[in-house]
Structure 1
Amino acid sequence: MSDRRATPATDRVALASWRGRIERPDYTEGEAARVAVPLAELLAQPDGARDRQLNFGADVTVIERRDGWAFVQAGRDGYCGWVFECDLSVEMPAITHRVSAPATHIYPVPDMKQRETGWLSMNARISVVETQGRFARLATGGWVPVQGIGDAFAADPVDLAEALIGTPYLWGGNSRAGIDCSGLVQAALHGCGIACPGDADMQEAAFQQVERIERGDLLFWPGHVAMACGDGRMIHATAWKMRVIHEDIESGIARIDAAGDGPFRGARRAGGVTLDL
């Protein structure tokens, strides 16, 4: 049975590239679109439970539109689900930068004393059309501080994960406003240009197991993932504290096992496929 999270098909329509792999009444080449709101909820079904979230600027392929909803496949990790149709735009200016800070505000004019009009989270993909002093104007409207954006990927995923220390835990969350364990790992890796699936079980299946734990390696339990910091600690988004925290690896393994959420399944090293900005 195919994994619905990675299957670009509804009960009615499938991507044409899946013809012969999955039977549906109709097939489509899909339509390119982009997330045009700070965060789009990616749901298991229309008005259903949250699976994940998509940040501003995320490219998607629309497979079906239905009653104000759009079934999409995310370009970066292949995750499939339903989003509000109004959260998407078919206007797709060239991406020039990503949000490199944990989050940044959008202003109506290049002045930090003006009331903000919105916000963007780490790894939001943006198109800058001009800079004026310490602000950059976006093709989609508004200005963001240049200190919080970059035109290249970061070098160290642990640094990015640690920038999100204190972010509240949110099941299926993918932003500074709320994040879960796999969302934190994906944000850290995507910020360094490293491809990474959306959920912990997918991440565990995607990467090579290692015996010796090094900085940046991923640590797995059933349904949970953390990132090794290289100093005997790990960083993870945990419902235990309901936020992103550091924790000693050895004592963390013992705690999780004692809570009945183990056993520890070992470490894996991310790498392989790289992303475009």
Structure 2
Amino acid sequence: MTDRRSTPNPAWVDSSAPAQIGVALTDLLDAPNGIRDRQLVYGDPVTVLGAQDGHSYVRADRDGYIGFVPTAALAEATPHTHRIIARASHAYARADMKSPDRVALSFGSRLTALSETPKFIETTAGFIPKQHIAPEGQWHDDPAAIAALFIGTPYLWGGNSGTGIDCSGLVQAACLACNIPCDGDSDQQARNLGTTLPEGTPPQRNDLFFWKGHVALVYDANTLIHANAHHMSTTFEPISDALARIEQSDSGRTAHKRL
């Protein structure tokens, strides 16, 4: 049986054209006007495979995830020079933090620089504070540090942004920022991300713990960081507490992996 998340439905494919997300955030749906699987942020490149009922059938370039987005959320593909590295930022009308903000941007949003001032990078979306933006290809080296940017972010099933994120969205954001290829959903990550460790291996920073339908990142030898429905947010949690609580729900740990 094919996986609709990674294998296009031939009945919906009639093209292959580059585009990008042209709004701050949009849901990637399982069908036109359907249920959210994941989210895409400003500038995310996609390949348009077809169109139906005001929606475009797309493949996200970041991870190959396939689904539908409103066609109105798409824009012409352009080369990107920078990306947002803060959990959230704003694009301003001028190089002035008191000027009107044009759009709120989430971590990972991709932009094209036009010019530079002492404190801002002018992009096609507006002026971005330099503290919040970095050149494409300037990678981080610590996924746990990236995940910590999202502490307190509300839990959102299928979320991939600074306004709402889920367990696999958090792990993906942390990995992609460190140039580590990463799938979108936790079952895909459990199959493809990292190396499985023997039971009883002491955890270390940036290890991954998997349960059925859940993933958490090890922050240190005693602490996890994860977006979780128990707290309805991204939190630090003692490893011992998380293991006991989750296993009480008949969802035993399925893997301990190392990046």
What range describes the TM-score normalised by the shorter chain of this pair?
Answer: over 0.9
Whether the 8 Å contact between 2:197 and 2:256 is mirrored in structure 1 is yes
Cα distance between partner residues in 2 of 1:230 and 1:9: 42
Cα distance between partner residues in 1 of 2:127 and 2:5: 35
Q: What is the CA distance between 1:163 and its match in structure 2?
A: 0.9
4+ runs of 1 displaced by more than 6 Å?
A: none
2:173 match: 187
2:114 match: 129
Alpha-carbon distance change, 98 to 3 in structure 1, aligned in 2, over 3 angstroms: same
1:172 match: 158
Q: What is the CA distance between 1:10 and its match in structure 2?
A: 5.0
Cα distance between partner residues in 2 of 1:192 and 1:38: 22
2:105 match: 120
The one-character-per-residue Cα deviations of 1:48-99 (angstroms, maximum 9, x if unpaired) are 100000111111110001232100001110000000101111241x211111
1:7 match: 7
Cα distance between partner residues in 2 of 1:91 and 1:219: 36
Task: Report how many residues are paired.
Answer: 253
Residue of structure 1 aligned with 2:133, choices 125, 149, 154: 149
Cα distance between partner residues in 2 of 1:253 and 1:60: 37
SS in 2 for 1:255: helix
2:83 match: 98
SS in 2 for 1:257: helix
Cα distance between partner residues in 2 of 1:228 and 1:250: 12
Residue of structure 2 aligned with 1:65, choices 39, 51, 57: 51
Structure 1 position 110 matched with structure 2 position 119: no
Letter of the 1:86 counterpart: A
Letter of the 1:156 counterpart: D
Residue of structure 2 aligned with 1:266, choices 248, 255, 258: 255
Alpha-carbon distance change, 132 to 226 in structure 1, aligned in 2, over 3 angstroms: same
2:70 match: 84
Structure 1 position 224 matched with structure 2 position 214: yes
Cα distance between partner residues in 2 of 1:6 and 1:141: 30
Cα distance between partner residues in 2 of 1:11 and 1:35: 24
Q: TM-score, normalised by structure 1?
A: 0.88
1:243 match: 233
Cα distance between partner residues in 2 of 1:258 and 1:203: 23
Cα distance between partner residues in 1 of 2:153 and 2:187: 22
Q: What is the CA distance between 1:266 and its match in structure 2?
A: 2.2
Whether the 8 Å contact between 1:99 and 1:120 is mirrored in structure 2 is yes
Cα distance between partner residues in 2 of 1:35 and 1:141: 12
1:22 match: none
Whether the 8 Å contact between 1:10 and 1:71 is mirrored in structure 2 is no
Cα distance between partner residues in 2 of 1:254 and 1:69: 43
Letter of the 2:216 counterpart: A
Whether the 8 Å contact between 2:103 and 2:125 is mirrored in structure 1 is no
Alpha-carbon distance change, 253 to 118 in structure 1, aligned in 2, over 3 angstroms: same
Provide the alpha-carbon RMSD of the alignment: 1.2
Cα distance between partner residues in 2 of 1:124 and 1:255: 35
Identity across the alignment (%) = 42
Runs of 5+ in structure 1 lacking a partner? 14-26, 271-277
Runs of 5+ in structure 2 lacking a partner? none
Q: TM-score, normalised by structure 2?
A: 0.94
Alpha-carbon distance change, 38 to 10 in structure 1, aligned in 2, over 3 angstroms: farther
1:48 match: 34
1:210 match: 197
1:24 match: none
